[in-house]
Amino acid sequence: MGLNDQWMQRDLKVLWHPCTQMKDHEQLPLIPIKRGEGVWLEDFEGKRYLDAVSSWWVNVFGHANPRINQRIKDQVDQLEHVILAGFSHQPVIELSERLVAMTPTGLDRVFYADNGSSCIEVALKMSFHYWQNTGKPQKKRFVTLTNSYHGETIAAMSVGDVPLFTETYKALLLDTIKVPSPDCYHRPQGMGWEEHSRNMFAAMEQTLAEHHASIAAVIVEPLIQGAGGMRMYHPVYLKLLREACDRYDVHLIHDEIAVGFGRTGTMFACEQAGIRPDFLCLSKALTGGYLPLAACLTTDKVYQAFYDDYPTLRAFLHSHSYTGNPLACAAALATLDIFAQDNVIEANQALATRMASATAHLAEHAHVAEIRQTGMALAIEMVQDKATKAAYPWQERRGLKVFEHALSRGALLRPLGSVVYFLPPYVITPEQIDFLAEVATEGIDIATRSSVSVAVPADFHPDFRDPG
């Protein structure tokens, strides 16, 4: 038995892995990773895998980045953690100052959480509580887009709309209002992204006009609906939404947990619409993929609604044990230093162009309906019928075939159902992008070689998919 097998057997005796049907590992080997360097992960037998998905969208400057490593090492000798209620520390103060300075003007207060889902919970609770504190307790519902994803905790699931993650827990979820997504994949032939996104805003306008008196906030993933299949839309939708939220006195929450920090081509997606949300949720790349940390930024207007004498009970009494952890803040500060010193956003433009050219040939593939891209996120949608965009039955797990082939070639390329996507660390080279395109092309050829073989039941729900 090799070293990988030894570690795999020990793992499977005690672990329950996330987002996984554990029975799959009776056939699909689990891969134990010993070390990482740059875009590469290495197992216990020395095989390397190019991390094309940034280890669940978190790693932007490579594994074992020496600059981030050193910042954490320096911090651990000073202070590993301290309660953030009634106490503070240098890294969290400096990080907060920098986040306020680099985000849209008016986001002046930073509240920390431990992870993305928790950050969404903070924003939802703050919005709800704000209306309570300002004498509008009837404003307690949330509006979300179809096909959206905002996390796995109960309130975060409530404002999501990917059935694979929410269907089982329906009885636990909040009552939310769902509005059709501006996703441009199903736009009419010949129509551009901007026109389609403008047209799709009509449903949101109508919803806010009819229900604004009871709505606390609208929450969106700006520009890219990640777990929903890397579906994308035009920034004009965000601009129209900001204007409507202002008219109808409704908060706007931007979930930039997956798309912040350069992923869409600008530091934050909201910049492309020239707007400022009332709540900006950040996590994932915030620490360069090192440690769990999330930040919810909001306005002084929201902050002041909670600022009062203690007996009024208007305070926001929400907490996490590891809120503002110094080690995580140190990693975040090192990450922001790299952004500031290395002209990352500009360098990514060339990488994004290379991603587009390396995959352009797949537009002619008989089973590729679309190649779509926003900045450093590129998605390739496999379908059984190119003309009608008819999806493959989810039971066939075509994406899994791509995943298995990629592993055999030394790449971690984990599709979302039938959507193959690149979301690599920003330290990837043009040649490594070409390699990923080659592996993806081979995998798509293998995955689409056979015809549909699974009978689709009458209640087939096309939105079920393998989680990415």
Using CA atoms, how far apart are residues 199 and 236, in angstroms rounded to an integer? Answer: 11
Say if residue 309 carries a ligand binding annotation: no
- The CA-based angle 226-227-230, given to 5 degrees, is 40
Pair of tokens at residue 228: 């929903």
Inter-residue contact 305 to 227 (CB < 8 Å)? no
Taking the alpha carbons of 93, 98, 99, 104 in that order, is the dihedral positive or negative? positive
Say if residue 149 carries a ligand binding annotation: yes
Inter-residue contact 365 to 440 (CB < 8 Å)? no
Say if residue 229 carries a ligand binding annotation: no
Using CA atoms, how far apart are residues 201 and 206, in angstroms rounded to an integer? Answer: 9
Q: How many CB atoms lie within 10 A of CB 434?
A: 15
Helices 326-341 + 66-76 axis angle, to 10? 150
Say if residue 319 carries a ligand binding annotation: yes
Cα distances (angstroms) measured from residue 89 to each of 326, 336, 363: 7, 18, 52
Closest-CA residue to 277 (of 306, 297, 305, 247)? 297
Please tell me the number of Cα atoms within 13 Å of 103 on its side-chain side: 28
Say if residue 117 carries a ligand binding annotation: yes
Inter-residue contact 237 to 198 (CB < 8 Å)? yes
Say if residue 56 carries a ligand binding annotation: yes
379 DSSP β-pair partners: 372, 421
Using CA atoms, how far apart are residues 320 and 439, in angstroms rounded to an integer? Answer: 42
Could you give the dihedral angle defined by the CA atoms of residues 41, 44, 46 and 48, in that order, rounded to the nearest 10 degrees? Answer: -20
Name the residue with tokens 């066939």: 396
Using CA atoms, how far apart are residues 451 and 453, in angstroms rounded to an integer? Answer: 6
Edge-to-edge strand list for the sheet holding 419-422: 368-374, 377-382, 419-422
Inter-residue contact 393 to 376 (CB < 8 Å)? no
Pair of tokens at residue 34: 């010993």
Say if residue 25 carries a ligand binding annotation: no
Using only C-alpha atoms, the chain has a radius of gyration, in whole angstroms, of 22
85 exposure class (CB count in 10 Å sphere: 0-12, 13-18, 19+): exposed
Say if residue 88 carries a ligand binding annotation: no
Say if residue 196 carries a ligand binding annotation: no
- Cβ-Cβ contacts under 8 Å for 191 (sequence gap 6 or more): none
Annotated binding site for substrate: 56, 149, 284, 319, 414
Annotated binding site: 56, 116-117, 149, 255, 284, 319-321, 414
Annotated binding site for pyridoxal 5'-phosphate: 116-117, 255, 320-321
